Amino acid sequence: MEDMQTVNEYAISKARLEDLQEILRLQHLAYQSEATLLGNKDIPPLKQTLDEVIGEYHKGIILKMVDAGGLIIGSIRAWEMKGTVHVGKLMVHPDHRQQGFGTKLLGEIEKYFPQKRYELFTSTRSIDNIRLYERMGYREFDRRIMDDMDLVYMEKVIGQE
């Protein structure tokens, strides 16, 4: 695989078009816990279509994390607009959480956009996500309400971590 970084028996590389259906299935599985936390099964990651994921693929970079058997167990997306890298859909299979894979994926996507400003958002209720982002140097800069969800927007600027 090109651009692959091995993490223990796991590997991170750019996703291919043929990976997107499996990544979307993982997304629908991984975001169930977020939907439960929010008490809302109608959140955008659970409604996203394959065509929308393909659009994101062409707009930026989607990384995948695969296990030794080739199963995609994690993914993250990012695209750049006006000097800001928008990071989204960081996900890890529920059976593989709390092992540092989210940290590895976030660190890896930042390597594709060096010396930039990074921005992401999560629910204000997603305390574990917020802690992860803070550990990675992200700081809150805004709060907004979208689709009846309270969101915290976080940024990381190289040189200010």
Q: What is the pLDDT along the chain (161 residues), one digit of tens a residue?
A: 345 555 568 999 999 999 999 999 999 999 999 999 888 888 999 999 999 999 999 999 999 999 999 999 999 999 999 999 999 999 999 999 999 999 999 999 999 998 899 999 999 999 999 999 999 999 999 999 987 789 999 999 976 55
pLDDT of residue 8: 62
Q: Which two tokens stand for residue 30?
A: 């991984």
Please return the burial class of 83, using the count of CB atoms within 10 Å of its CB with bins 0-12, 13-18 and 19+: exposed
